[in-house]
């Protein structure tokens, strides 16, 4: 018997109509979804319910259910199945919470050797502890079941993401000081070219340099000659897997933030004596009336007794600006070191430490032939 209840008309926008028409022509969509799209299109056109049923071969209750959902909650709901749970869940919310809390601990906290859980190990441990915890349904939980519970809460105990803790209580203040210096340098570089800094004895220019060390550069040698590329046979250089270690060297460098000129010393160690040698080189290079502002970290060589004794002989010549602890990324010299690693230090092979030193100095000379002024771009960071 036909329903006598009057239903509202269904109005479709052009976009909705196109979407339904596309769906009716789809060869990949579910049949029931295509059927519902045809029902809604014909109902919106004013086709009687009885005629829709005859044309599509569906019952009137099916048509009414589709139309009622579309009128109540929109076209999308009219196309979708009504959610229903076939039976009550066997794993309770408390059981899921227990699994999640367990996954947020470490295996070593439970007397195991591993540092992080694997899904297999976690599922096995859950199976052994579920009865005692009051969740017998989890005693035979598979890896897939455990994964679904964890995925629902976006927990991935088998992964690790590294971060850097700010252990310096004055981190923000020191970062602000460094960025203010970079902002001053940017303003200086943007000014029109003036006379040389030593043109007038009354002028006391401030020259800013970024200083740091790059230790542990390995002098690695090959045990067999490299094989060059051969057209039609080998597209890349061939290299024997075996290698010889000749030792390591350190680069002590200072980057002029106004000109991009790079000062560098290549040494076997980076003690106070080597750092003082770099300071002396800066002292000899710049005009006597200039103040050399040095951005650097708190490495022991930078603040040792020997270094302080040397600075005392040059009062007012050097001005320290320290980066915060674990804030090496604030030092622009790191960009120069990165450029070295991506250029002349990349895949480098040498026969001795002396050859490595010569090639590093040659690479730095090439840098200075075409200097690049590195700039800090995000001045909003820490300056709010």
Answer whether CATH 1.10.10.10 is correct for domain 172-191+203-369. Answer: no
pLDDT value of position 327: 85
pLDDT, tens digit (0-9, with 9 covering 90-100), for 267-326 = 998 899 999 999 999 999 999 999 999 999 989 999 999 999 999 999 999 999 999 988
Task: Give the residue ranges of DSSP H helices in 25-142.
Answer: 31-44, 49-56, 60-73, 75-79, 93-103, 119-133
Q: Percentage of the chain surpassing pLDDT 90?
A: 58
Q: pTM for this one?
A: 0.63
Share the mean pLDDT of the chain.
Answer: 88
How far apart CA 208 and CA 313 sit, in angstroms, is: 20
Sorted by where each begins, the domain ranges of the chain are: 14-79, 93-152, 172-191+203-369
Determine the average pLDDT of the residues in 257-261: 94
pLDDT value of position 1: 41
Q: Is the pLDDT of residue 199 over 60?
A: no
pLDDT, tens digit (0-9, with 9 covering 90-100), for 21-80 = 888 888 888 888 888 888 888 888 888 888 888 888 888 888 888 888 888 888 888 888
Q: Percentage of the chain surpassing pLDDT 70?
A: 92
How far apart CA 279 and CA 254 sit, in angstroms, is: 9
| H or E, element range at 281 | helix 272-285
């Amino acid at each position: 018997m036909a329903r006598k209840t009057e239903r509202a008309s269904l109005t479709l926008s052009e976009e909705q109509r196109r979407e339904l028409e596309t769906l009716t022509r789809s060869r990949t969509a579910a049949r029931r979804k295509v059927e519902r799209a045809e029902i809604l299109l014909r109902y919106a056109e004013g086709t009687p319910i009885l005629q829709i049923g005859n044309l599509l071969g569906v019952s009137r209750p099916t048509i009414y259910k589709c139309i009622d959902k579309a009128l109540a909650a929109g076209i999308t709901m009219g196309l979708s199945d009504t959610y229903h749970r076939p039976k009550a869940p066997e794993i309770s919310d408390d059981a899921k919470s227990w699994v999640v809390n367990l996954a947020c601990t470490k295996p070593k906290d439970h007397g195991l050797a591993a540092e992080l859980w694997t899904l297999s190990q976690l599922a096995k441990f859950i199976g052994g502890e579920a009865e005692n915890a009051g969740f017998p349904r989890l005693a035979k939980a598979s890896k897939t079941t455990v994964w679904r519970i964890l995925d629902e809460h976006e927990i991935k105990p088998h992964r690790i993401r590294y971060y850097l803790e700010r252990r310096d209580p004055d981190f923000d203040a020191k970062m602000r000081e460094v960025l203010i210096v970079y902002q001053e340098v940017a303003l200086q570089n943007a000014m029109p070219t003036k006379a040389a800094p030593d043109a007038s004895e009354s002028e006391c220019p401030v020259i800013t340099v970024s200083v740091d060390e790059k230790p542990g550069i390995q002098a690695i040698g090959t045990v067999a000659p490299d094989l060059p590329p051969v057209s039609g046979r080998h597209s890349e250089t061939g290299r024997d897997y075996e290698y010889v270690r000749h030792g390591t060297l350190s680069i002590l460098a200072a980057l002029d933030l106004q000109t991009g000129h790079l000062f560098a010393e290549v040494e076997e160690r980076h003690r106070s004596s080597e750092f003082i040698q770099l300071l002396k080189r800066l002292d000899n290079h710049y005009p006597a009336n200039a103040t050399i502002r040095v951005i650097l970290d708190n490495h022991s060589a930078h603040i040792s007794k020997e270094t302080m004794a040397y600075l005392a002989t040059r009062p007012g010549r050097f001005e320290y600006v320290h980066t915060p602890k674990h804030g090496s990324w604030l030092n622009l010299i790191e960009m120069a070191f990165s450029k070295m690693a991506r250029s002349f230090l990349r895949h480098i092979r040498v026969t001795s430490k002396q050859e490595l030193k010569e090639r590093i100095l040659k690479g730095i000379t090439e840098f200075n032939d075409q200097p690049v002024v590195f700039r800090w771009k995000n001045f909003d960071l820490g300056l709010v």
